[in-house]
Amino acid sequence: MKGHYLDTKHPIIIENLMGIRRVKGSIQKGKKPLLINHLKLIINTINEQKTDEIKKFRDKSLILIGFGGGFRRTELISIDHEDIEFVPEGLKITIKKSKTDQFGEGMIKGLPYFTNEIYCPVKNLKKWLEISKIKSGPIFRRFSKGLSLTDKRLTDQSVVLLMKEYLNLAGIENTNFAGHSLRSGFATVAAESGADERSIMAMTGHKTTQMVRRYIREANIFKNNALNKVKF
């Protein structure tokens, strides 16, 4: 705080940090990733609700885009109409600035069309924009009472609340899910499907491999399990 240089490689500091790790431990207990079976259950649950189609398509496209692009919640709710471009292959989304992009260089994410249209982020977003008639500004907006669409952007907390609400309606225990579950879910599912760390990082925007390797490790915990070689 006083502006002094801190040498984190200094032997005394390293020794102290190692001592803290020995006492406290360094394992991170993250929130549960949202996997494919969860995602499908959420979308099916939204489709079953007795509410207006406009709300269904907003909620579906929010969750599917969040998952499909491995978005942080703040990035997801920050998307404006000017940031998206539909192309023959799918959808391009420009992220103007993110948590790890302090200089605002931005990045572009590409979401291809899915074979199954029910769970396709691109198709659902197209339908949402068509129904909502949004032509500029935030694409994910709040409703006022009576389901009138406002021009106000959804908050990042809205993403968590919506996800938890639909998990609950689908009969899934939702305590250990959070907004980050969409992002970690994408990385885990991509890793399970054989995507390499570079491809995953290109979508999530991770700057280092540490976190992505953790997702890959957890995704392969049963696939590459030594116990599979043991015959009982």
**Computed from CA positions of residues 88, 89, 90, 92, in that sequence, does the dihedral angle turn out positive or negative?**
negative
The b/e string for 111-139 (b: 16+ C-beta within 10 A; e otherwise) is beebeeeebbbbbbbebbbebbebeeebb
DSSP state of 7: -
Question: For residue 157, what are the contacts with CB-CB under 8 A and spacing of at least 6?
Answer: 179
User: What positions carry a catalytic annotation?
Assistant: 72, 99, 180, 183, 206, 215
Q: How far is CA 145 from CA 22, 36, 52, 142, 149, in A?
A: 53, 32, 13, 10, 9
Take residue 39 and report the two structure tokens written for it. Answer: 């995602």
- Residue 227 DSSP one-character state: G
Which token pair is 6? 């801190």
The tokens for 112 are 């291809």
